[in-house]
Structure 1
Amino acid sequence: MEKSDLLKNVGKRIQTLRLSKGLSQVDLVGQIEGDIDTTNISRIESGRTNPTIYTLYRISQALEVPLEELVKFEPPTV
């Protein structure tokens, strides 16, 4: 799997979880501990940036899901 595909999959997973909880990107930023802005969440969800493991952890805490839930997706079939 290419790096860009992986980042897009993780971003899409975060977006799906966020929307399932009825949160906007602004709402999510408000629940994340520490300094992060809405544009950063937007870049993460679109796969345009590579978030640190700590950022992913903070997002998982804000979404109230285990960290591994953010990277859970079906691998492509070959």
Structure 2
Amino acid sequence: MDIFTYGILKDSEINRLKKKTRHNLGAKIKEVRESKSLTQVDLASRIEGRFDTSNVSRIESGRINTTVFTLFRIAKALDIDISDLLDIEVFED
């Protein structure tokens, strides 16, 4: 499916892309976290401000949508650029 050709997405396609985006973003965060030998508890403790371990779990599993500010805080805690987290596949089938 080439969303740029059709221009308009059906609600079901939008929901599929939202779910895939959350899943792939969470997988990327988990991949980086594990590559640095950090647990979810370790990551949560490094994130500036109050941040619960259960939030890390929900983000990594793709169950919740997170804000750009939270992504910035996660990237900072992982000592990477936020763009590294956003380098994910979404539109590929």
Per the normalisation by structure 2, the TM-score is: 0.78
Higher relative contact order (CA 8 A, sep 6+): 1
Aligned match for 2:76, one of 61, 68, 77: 61
RMSD, matched Cα: 1.3
- CA shift for structure 1 position 12: 0.2
| Percent identity over paired residues | 45
Separation in structure 2 between the aligned mates of residue 27 and residue 38 of structure 1, nearest angstrom:
9
**How many Å apart are 1:2 and its aligned residue?**
1.1
Please tell me whether residue 33 in structure 1 is matched to residue 48 in structure 2.
yes
- State the shift of 1:58 in Å: 0.2
Q: TM-score, normalised by structure 1?
A: 0.93
User: Any unmatched runs of 5+ in structure 2?
Assistant: 1-15
Give unmatched runs, 5+ long, in structure 1.
none
Q: Answer yes or no: is the 8 Å Cα contact 2:75–2:85 preserved in 1.
A: yes
